[in-house]
Amino acid sequence: MYKKGDKVIILDYNQKPIVPNVVAVVEDVIKEDRVRLLMPDNGCCLEFTDRLKKIDEEKYAKILHAVKERDKELPVDLQLDIRKFASKHPRRRKDEILQMFEQDKKYVSILNAYTGRVMMYGKENINDHFLFEYKDALYGIVKTRSFLHELDETIPVPDLV
């Protein structure tokens, strides 16, 4: 039934694709009813064949892209004591640093909200206004983190854009 290299989607107990969708490649056939799967995160697992459904290359690529998009690492809120941070950089105005820090928190919040909505409703069901806010937050987080990185090199600049 299944052979090495087959592209599959994982099903739930009702024989429907699990939400969010997960795809895999058959790495090895153990028995007629069990296969070893290579997952998108390069992990492997054993799975019963009644929980799998073969899919074509196009659908596999589409779902794999969605999985990688979901698993993209998000920036986290910076835990900084602004007063100490600002005192280390007296040439910068404290309100300028504080403003960038507040914008950064706003952008992180928008990125996390977008990721949650995509996981719940799917990327195709996100409204245009929120999509605009998300794209603005992508560019904004790079700007704020670049500014803060100049002040403290331990703050990473995300490669989201």
User: Distances from the Cα of 25 to the Cαs of 8, 13, 28, 52, 98, in angstroms?
Assistant: 6, 20, 9, 11, 48
Break the chain into its structural domains and give their ranges.
7-70, 82-151
Give tens-digit pLDDT for 7-21: 999 888 888 888 778
Kindly tell me if the per-residue pLDDT of 45 is higher than 90: no
Q: Which fold has domain 7-70?
A: SH3 type barrels. (2.30.30)
Question: Among residues 156, 68, 152, which one has the least CA distance to residue 108?
Answer: 156
Question: Among residues 112, 154, 101, 118, which one has the least CA distance to residue 137?
Answer: 112
- Greatest mean pLDDT among 90-99, 112-121, 126-135 lies in 126-135
Q: Do 52 and 9 contact (CB within 8 A), yes or no?
A: yes
Q: Please give the pLDDT value at position 151.
A: 81
Give the chain's mean pLDDT: 82
Q: What pTM value is reported for the model?
A: 0.55
Q: Do 40 and 55 contact (CB within 8 A), yes or no?
A: no
Instruction: Pick 81 or 21 by higher pLDDT.
Output: 21
